[in-house]
């Protein structure tokens, strides 16, 4: 069965600094998708970035970028120039084919604190 592991329950970063959140996953599939979602205190789930497994190029969205290492099954999120508004819970998610459909599997989350 596929699993997603976020080994850092909590991280802190100084404002304007860079932080990397780690995520590893386990799968035997070759076709899958990886996502990072942000959940601020409002509890809304917001898509941060999406990566397709067949694409070797790492996805980027403004200050957010990923380091996708397919062989190592690693999908870390780098946040550059951290801002107070980046403080949130971050979830890594895997979407791959299971029993004929593409199911979402989420990690347990990393709470990011941004220090002024």
Partner 1 sequence: EAQVTQNPRYLITVTGKKLTVTCSQNMNHEYMSWYRQDPGLGLRQIYYSMNVEVTDKGDVPEGYKVSRKEKRNFPLILESPSPNQTSLYFCASSFNDRGAAFFGQGTRLTVV
Give yes or no for residue 108 binding partner 1 (CB under 8 A). yes
- Measure the CA–CA gap between 51 and 36, rounded to whole angstroms: 9
Give yes or no for residue 77 binding partner 1 (CB under 8 A). no
Give yes or no for residue 41 binding partner 1 (CB under 8 A). no
Q: Answer for the pair 80, 15: CB distance below 8 angstroms, yes or no.
A: no
Stretch touching partner 1 by CB under 8 A, among 10-18, 42-50, 61-69, 75-83: 42-50
Give yes or no for residue 54 binding partner 1 (CB under 8 A). no
Give yes or no for residue 64 binding partner 1 (CB under 8 A). no
- Measure the CA–CA gap between 70 and 63, rounded to whole angstroms: 22
Q: Which of residues 2 and 20 has its CB atom nearest to partner 1 in the complex?
A: 2
Nearest 5°: phi and psi at 84? -60, -35
Reported as half-sphere exposure (CB side, CA atoms, 13 A), residue 30 has a value of 1
Q: Which of residues 16 and 47 has its CB atom nearest to partner 1 in the complex?
A: 47
């Amino acid at each position: 069965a596929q699993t997603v592991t976020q080994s850092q329950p909590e991280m802190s970063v100084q404002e304007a600094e860079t932080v990397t959140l780690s995520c590893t996953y386990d799968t035997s599939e070759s076709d899958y998708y990886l996502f990072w979602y942000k959940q601020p205190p409002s509890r809304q789930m917001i898509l941060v970035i999406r990566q397709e497994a067949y694409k070797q190029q790492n996805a980027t969205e403004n200050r957010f970028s990923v380091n996708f290492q397919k062989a190592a099954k690693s999908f870390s999120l780098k946040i550059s120039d951290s801002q107070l508004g980046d403080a949130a819970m971050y979830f890594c998610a895997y979407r791959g084919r299971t029993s004929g459909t593409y199911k979402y599997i989420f990690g347990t989350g990393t709470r990011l604190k941004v220090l002024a």
